[in-house]
Chains A and B, each alone.
Chain A
């Protein structure tokens, strides 16, 4: 079922939780609402569910206007951050709840309910726990039961509030993959809230990046990463190193450091954002860049080695991070305190006081 959100806004007291925003979600899509805490993502999710009323705007499920429809009648599935399983009911009773509270005419008979509960528990691979109580389950198991409970009434829209927030990294990853599989198999429309960029990028068809009650950008994960449209999105998604650039002698300068101006860009002051994997490093400055950095730490992180570096002879507000492959690092010897020269291949330029980035590509010029 497609979801259409038009000019929804919400105020709590003096706090503008959502500025009027619009969003259109296609049938069968999986949408991640990504943002820092206080960005309004959970409020938006709760408004879609009907747990919160919007101050203005309207919401449509397919061609049905649900703006003034009570939560009970919206028939959405909702998974709470802390699962909200009914503690005094067994797992099976929890899952059956949505079916048992149906009005008499629609309610399946007892054996049909039992059958459906059994099927749902098998689907979440927890059939053997039917008679346990929620307190006897692990976090990941609770999460799956919460999902089975939400899916019992066959909702066409599934809403998830920080679904994996309380789980450890390994279980989280496993459940993520499993949820994606379930979504593809059953074909419901999903919206989930997360502050974890990795989760949003891995799980969603499209990611909605939010901050301060606004939508910053809506895009597929790949596009979001490669073409962020604002400083906020750039900062929030992935690590970015920021070079405060002042034009001088027809190049960007900052103290002792300098970068050549890429071709086709009129010389102006601003900030150059460079992702941590967009670098080559050497022991002396290259023709294109003179960025001296001192090694503060070398941390192997999964598939890459992350260098934490501080500027030498120039200023940066934050420590720089550069990711290199293990293979490369194995060939060289690096140690703490050593000075390196970084050369960016590719970056983004935000001219002074603008939000729109321009892509810059030094390697093109070199070729």
Chain B
């Protein structure tokens, strides 16, 4: 024990005063910035009583908003899963001109404000836009309808899966895949039995992040949805509408649903991170 104490005294920047004031400050800020708002969501949601809470949740418009949000997530996640795997595979397994540019382009949705993304889609696919005008003639309406909401959500969340996979696939290299092909594996067998198990946890992690963002996206969706109550209102938009209608408790009840989804996501994320770390440990334990 005394040896340990001695060693800890020698570590740089480890004076107790600095240590405890930093930890204390961080804890206070975490409480103020993260925990208090989260608790207050539930406190406000239940402000008018439990029965009011549940009755505001089963209101038709709220239920519709929940349904639409789930639909958007259910469509966005598989689209971006496939897209992300394809993109990560292309840039890590093939050499082609423009590879680096492609990897930079992938960050556009992160770098750009979602509102701007929504506006771009509106300009392009709206009834007066280049493509939108043609679609209008064909009687197809994308903007101010759920397809538009899905489109911008796909745009905003498309980097998550690929961003998770690219570094991992770069690190793992292509030797495993070469070995599988030499042993006679077909393209599908290779993917199913070698590549997919190798990237499994990173893929799940990417999906969780995609889902969380798809459920919570506000900026881009608010531009293209048109806020038609009971038709094109997703849950985050619904929260805002209810709040503007002076239904604070109902707004917070809806918000609490989003908070619960976020908490479940966090749990999942922690579990996947733990699994991922474990599988990486096994890898590096050579």
Contact of A88 with B197 in the complex, beta carbons under 8 Å: yes
Contact of A82 with B175 in the complex, beta carbons under 8 Å: yes
Contact of B282 with A49 in the complex, beta carbons under 8 Å: no
Which of B182, B184, B189, B282 has a CB less than 8 Å from the CB of A87?
B282
Interface of B is mostly: helix
Q: Does B179 contact A (CB under 8 A)?
A: yes
Most chain B CB within 10 A, of A51, A75, A133, A150, is at A51
Cβ–Cβ < 8 Å partners of B30 in chain A: none
Q: Does B14 contact A (CB under 8 A)?
A: no
A143-175 interface with B by 8 A CB criterion: 149-150, 152-153
Min CB distance B96 to A, Å, is: 14
Cβ–Cβ < 8 Å partners of A49 in chain B: 182
Contact of B182 with A76 in the complex, beta carbons under 8 Å: yes
Q: Does A84 contact B (CB under 8 A)?
A: yes
A101/B185 contact (C-beta < 8 A), A80-B175, A84-B176, A87-B282 known: yes
Cβ–Cβ < 8 Å partners of B283 in chain A: 87, 135
Contact residue range for chain A?
20 to 34
Q: Does B186 contact A (CB under 8 A)?
A: yes
Contact of B183 with A98 in the complex, beta carbons under 8 Å: yes
Q: What's the Cα separation between A71 and B174 when bound, in Å?
A: 14
Q: What's the Cα separation between A50 and B182 when bound, in Å?
A: 9
CB-based nearest A residue for B178: A51
Min CB distance A82 to B, Å, is: 6
Min CB distance A14 to B, Å, is: 15
Cβ–Cβ < 8 Å partners of A102 in chain B: 184
Min CB distance A101 to B, Å, is: 4
CB-based nearest A residue for B194: A86
Cβ–Cβ < 8 Å partners of A101 in chain B: 180, 183-186, 189, 193
Q: What's the Cα separation between A223 and B193 when bound, in Å?
A: 47
Q: Does A97 contact B (CB under 8 A)?
A: yes
Q: Does A72 contact B (CB under 8 A)?
A: yes
A80/B185 contact (C-beta < 8 A), A101-B193, A135-B283 known: no
Min CB distance B279 to A, Å, is: 8
A200-248 interface with B by 8 A CB criterion: none
Min CB distance A142 to B, Å, is: 8
Contact of A86 with B176 in the complex, beta carbons under 8 Å: yes
Which of A72, A82, A88, A98 has a CB less than 8 Å from the CB of B198?
A88
Q: Does B59 contact A (CB under 8 A)?
A: no
Contact of A71 with B182 in the complex, beta carbons under 8 Å: yes
Q: What's the Cα separation between A72 and B188 when bound, in Å?
A: 13
Q: What's the Cα separation between A311 and B280 when bound, in Å?
A: 55
CB-based nearest A residue for B176: A84
Contact of B286 with A135 in the complex, beta carbons under 8 Å: yes
Q: What's the Cα separation between A149 and B184 when bound, in Å?
A: 12
Min CB distance B187 to A, Å, is: 9
Q: What's the Cα separation between A102 and B183 when bound, in Å?
A: 9
Q: Does B181 contact A (CB under 8 A)?
A: yes
Contact of A97 with B180 in the complex, beta carbons under 8 Å: yes
Which of A72, A75, A78, A98 has a CB less than 8 Å from the CB of B186?
A72
Q: Does B285 contact A (CB under 8 A)?
A: yes
A84/B175 contact (C-beta < 8 A), A97-B180, A135-B283 known: yes
Q: What's the Cα separation between A133 and B279 when bound, in Å?
A: 12
Min CB distance B147 to A, Å, is: 39
Min CB distance A13 to B, Å, is: 10
A72/B185 contact (C-beta < 8 A), A78-B179, A84-B179, A101-B193 known: yes
Contact of A98 with B178 in the complex, beta carbons under 8 Å: no
Cβ–Cβ < 8 Å partners of A86 in chain B: 176, 179-180, 193-194, 197
CB-based nearest B residue for A93: B193
Cβ–Cβ < 8 Å partners of A76 in chain B: 182
B19-65 interface with A by 8 A CB criterion: none
A98/B184 contact (C-beta < 8 A), A82-B175, A87-B283, A135-B283 known: yes
Mark A69-85 against chain B: 1 for CB-CB distance below 8 A, else 0.
00110111110101011
Min CB distance A175 to B, Å, is: 17
A42-71 interface with B by 8 A CB criterion: 49-51, 71
Cβ–Cβ < 8 Å partners of B189 in chain A: 101
B106-162 interface with A by 8 A CB criterion: none
Contact of B176 with A72 in the complex, beta carbons under 8 Å: no
Min CB distance B222 to A, Å, is: 43
B171-229 interface with A by 8 A CB criterion: 175-176, 178-186, 189, 193-194, 197-198
Q: What's the Cα separation between A97 and B184 when bound, in Å?
A: 9
Min CB distance A149 to B, Å, is: 7
Cβ–Cβ < 8 Å partners of B181 in chain A: 71-72
Min CB distance A67 to B, Å, is: 17
A149/B183 contact (C-beta < 8 A), A86-B194, A135-B283 known: yes
Min CB distance A182 to B, Å, is: 19
Q: What's the Cα separation between A152 and B286 when bound, in Å?
A: 24
Q: What's the Cα separation between A49 and B184 when bound, in Å?
A: 12
Cβ–Cβ < 8 Å partners of B182 in chain A: 49-51, 71-72, 74, 76-78, 150
Which of A72, A80, A85 has a CB less than 8 Å from the CB of B184?
A72
Most chain B CB within 10 A, of A49, A78, A86, is at A86
Contact of A153 with B179 in the complex, beta carbons under 8 Å: no
Contact of A80 with B282 in the complex, beta carbons under 8 Å: no
18 residue pairs A–B, Cβ–Cβ below 8 Å: A51-B182, A71-B182, A72-B181, A75-B184, A77-B182, A80-B178, A82-B175, A84-B175, A84-B176, A87-B176, A87-B282, A87-B283, A88-B279, A89-B197, A98-B184, A135-B282, A135-B283, A152-B183
- Given A86-B179, A101-B189, A101-B193; 5 other pairs, CB 8 A cutoff: A49-B182, A84-B175, A86-B197, A101-B185, A152-B183
Which residues of B are in contact with A by a Cβ distance under 8 Å? 175-176, 178-186, 189, 193-194, 197-198, 279, 282-283, 285-286
Shortest beta-carbon contacts, A-B, top 5: A98-B183, A84-B175, A84-B179, A88-B197, A101-B185
